[in-house]
Structure 1
Amino acid sequence: MTTLPRLTGPSLPPAAGGPARALVVLLHGVGADGDDLIELAPHWADRLPHAAFLSPHAPFPCDLAPYGRQWFSLQDRSPAALLAGARMAAPILDDVLDSELAARGLGPDRLALVGFSQGCMMALHCGLRRAVPPAAIVGYSGALVGAERLSAEAVGRPPVLLVHGDLDQVVPFAALAQAETALRAAGVPVETHACPDLDHTIDADGLDLGGAFLARALG
């Protein structure tokens, strides 16, 4: 049996103190690490005072730069290679999600996934295929891989919010509409927001929308 890498990364307990009633997992993009996205947590703490936040470091060193981590290689960005990469990394991510939920005594429906760029690809790929779907998925500046297989492979249909800058030079802005079309075709409830004059990053409006979406989904 293959031993899966055990992911580590920064975490924050609920702002209100006491046991966590939900877990928000933040998935970073290529060339970053968990220390990058954990910075989102303080922006959402007021809306999610009983949620714990976890931002795991992706399992592999980045092969496009001498620093940072990656969920899978982007040397080949063909649709088939992206799907193969997400499938390879999915069991690693699912393992840490299950372990961290169990450690906090939380059911799988008390999970929310937030991803940026490649982390968005992973959030969508894993979140829509988990045996019990997460309460919500929020994706920033990302894309949906394996769109043509989604209707057949999706297990649950959790609500999804996608936010993307219209000046993104890393993940094309067109990926937003492509993902929305495929998600709707698979019966997944999806909201989208285009950020005007924004490149490959998250702005204040995107943060606000994400926080409100998570608060609604997690109660």
Structure 2
Amino acid sequence: MKAAPEAQKRLLDLAELDSVIDRLAHRRRTLPELAEIDELAKSLARLATQVIEAETEAGDLAREQNKAENDVDAVRTRADRDQKRLDSGAVTSPRDLASLQSEIVSLQKRQGDLEEVVLEIMERREAADTKVTDLVARRDEAAAARAAAEDRRDAAFKEIDKEAGEVRGRRAAVAGEIPADLLKLYEKLKEQYVVGAAMLHGGRCQGCKVALSIA
């Protein structure tokens, strides 16, 4: 296909602008912030699950501790009641006195055992609460990091899109100076070979593999 020297020059200008647009699009697709945001999103999802699990464990332990403390209170109340009966002198039968004293001793032992259970639960609950605090802090830190990465991504997008818009404007102006049939051929070649025009060597387009004769 015949192409005037000036038209060939404008084609090369157009190809250069398209190359810039392609590079900007590639840069937009491969911003490091995109991979960072993706990894942080995965980390946040894991941490959110871990926080829920830790909070559930802490809640279960809180209820377990409350029940154990109620058991201690119930045994203590019963032991205090029996002790008052013993101290009041109302029980005079040796057999009943022995039985009451034995029950008090048994209740006191039971109370001690339950108090040990409460202490053990309290230790586990403290560890669970610490775990929740740590996970929440890590989750919040990851959320802040993701927000910062998103801000950087958005700023980069804005800069790239602005530059791409300016280049497209220049491209439209250059395309308007190229004959319609030649521009159509260029677009077809670009679609097929990515490059629609390239420098000529010996009358041959080095990028598009098409021979052009200078008018």
Same fold (TM over 0.5): no
TM category (shorter chain) comes to under 0.3
* Bigger strand fraction: 1
**Larger relative CO (CA 8 A, sep 6+): 1 or 2?**
2
* Bigger helix fraction: 2
